[in-house]
Structure formats: C-alpha cells, structure tokens
Amino acid sequence: MNLNNIRIVLHQPSHPGNIGAVARAMWTMNLSHLYLVQPKSFPDPIATKRATGAEALLEHAVVVDTLDEALAECGLVIGSSAQTRHLPWPILSPPECAQKAVQQASKQQVALVFGPERTGLSNEELQRCHYQVAIPANPAYSSLNLAMAVQVICYEVYGEFLSHHATEGVMRELASDAQLQSFYGHLDKLLDAVHFRRPSSSPDLIPKLKRIFNRAELDEDEINLLRGIFKKICNDPSI
C-alpha cells in the first residue's frame, strides 16, 4: 500500500490556476507526484498562488514533452473522461478506479491521466490508457472543472487507501507501459507480415486489439511468450 507510487498526469493543461488547484487537491488527499505534459504556462505565479500550502508539489512537479514520457514506467494507466466513445474503452467508476490504482500501487507505478480543460483526452490519448474512469455527472452539464475532477478521483483514492490497510490481495506485477507499447508495435508488424491488414480494414482494428490485451493485464512473462509466438509466425527473429 503505497500512495507514493500513484502519480497524477495533467496532459496539456492551459490554465496555471488549475495546475495550482490540482496540487492543492492532491495534497489534501496525500498524493504528491504531479506530472505535467506540455503545460501552457509553468511555473507561473498564478499556479503558486492557487496551490496555497501545496507549493512543494509544484516545485517537484515533473514537466515532460510527451505523454509517453509521463507514463513510461507505469504498470497501470487510467484516463479520466466523461465522454463515451465511438469505440468504448473499459470504463471504471471512481471507486473502482481507486481500488485498482491503490492495489496496483503496492507493486509498481500507477498513472491517473487528465486531459486538457477544453477538449479532454482525445480518442488516441485515451487509448494509451488501460482504462477510462468516468465521474457520474449531470447529463445536462457534465463538465467538471479539471481540478474538481482531480479532487474527486484523489478523494476516492485516499478513501480506498484508508479502508485498505487490512486487505492486501495477491498482486501480480504487470508489464510496464513501455513494454506494453513495444508489444503493440510488434503486434502491428505481425499484422502487416501476415497481410491481415488491408486498405478496407477498419481503422479501429488496432484499438480493438489493444482493448483486448489491456483487459488481459499482461505481465512481462506473458508479453515475452506472445512475442515468442509472433516471432515464430513471422519467421524473422529481428522483428
């Protein structure tokens, strides 16, 4: 049980005030690792002002250029979005999200990802996540402020953490996100090598396959096993 293994990732936040409010929201719930992917303005005195008491989180925030960098060593990645998608991603409620995050954090790094204020996560960004978490909201107005959404999710995480001290299940250590992405690259090559993909193929082909393997929660041995099969199929040890 280790909240230190849980990071909040803000993808392209526009408003420094929100970054500060997120830091405060996190720290009230005992979370302290903030990653910022291409923040529009950071550091910024407005962020510092809104952090009121949680300035240390901003000082230690990790600023990166790509979502990949923010997620690289994470075994579990959950993206927050209210929207349902053309290709539905496995959706967790906030308590389910908290449960998975806290459980997995006993083993390895976990990322909770929040998209830009106006648009939220794109389909492609959401598909980089293993799960989607959706905060139930008013169908007529579901637009939570970014920092509010972070507060709700962190509140659930901290509640789960508090309630969890007794029950530690047997946890598998999952493959890191980098290993998983490399596996997907290999799968992609396989489809080409066996000429499965055609011009007429659905653009959803790869996302559909990712959805399957995300649900499977692969560990490193399993990825090696599957890649061994892929290699044999392609008959090309270099792939």
Q: Which residues lie near a copy of itself (CB under 8 A)?
A: 21, 24-25, 27-30, 52-54, 88, 91, 94, 135-138, 140-145, 147-148, 151-152, 155, 158-159, 162, 170, 191, 194-196, 205, 208-209, 212-213, 215-218, 222, 225-226, 228-229, 232-233
Q: Please count the CA atoms within 13 angstroms of the CA of 158 that sit on its side-chain side.
A: 14
The token duo for 122 is 């794109």
d(C-alpha 19, C-alpha 24), whole Å: 9
Q: With H, G, I as helix, E, B as strand and everything else as coil, classify residue 68.
A: helix
With CA atoms as reference, report the closest residue to 21 among 42, 46, 41, 51: 51
What minimum distance in Å lies between the beta carbon of 66 and a copy of itself? 28
Q: Which is nearer to a copy of itself, 2 or 66 (CB)?
A: 2
Q: Is the dihedral of CA 59, 51, 27, 40 positive or negative?
A: negative
CB of 222 to a copy of itself, least distance (A): 6
Smallest separation, CB 10 to a copy of itself (Å): 16
Smallest gap from residue 103 Cβ to a copy of itself (A)? 15
Q: How far is the CB of 65 from a copy of itself (least distance, A)?
A: 29
For the chain, give the number of residues.
Answer: 239
Least gap, CB of 144 to a copy of itself (angstroms): 5
Of residues 16 and 70, the one with the C-beta less far from a copy of itself: 16
124 or 170: whose CB is closer to a copy of itself? 170
CB-nearer residue toward a copy of itself: 162 or 178: 162
Tokens of 210: 């990712």
Query: What letters, b where the CB count within 10 A reaches 16 and e where it falls short, cover 36-63?
Result: bbebeebbbebbbebbeebbebbeebee
Q: What is the 3-state secondary structure (H, E, C) of 170-221?
A: CCCCCCCHHHHHHHHHHHHHHHHHCCCCCCCCCCCHHHHHHHHHHHHCCCHH
Instruction: Report the alpha-carbon angle 216-221-226, nearest 5.
Output: 65
Nearer to a copy of itself by Cβ, of 65 and 169: the residue is: 169
Minimum distance from residue 136 beta carbon to a copy of itself (Å): 6
Nearer to a copy of itself, 68 or 229 (CB): 229
Q: Which of 72/209 has CB closer to a copy of itself?
A: 209
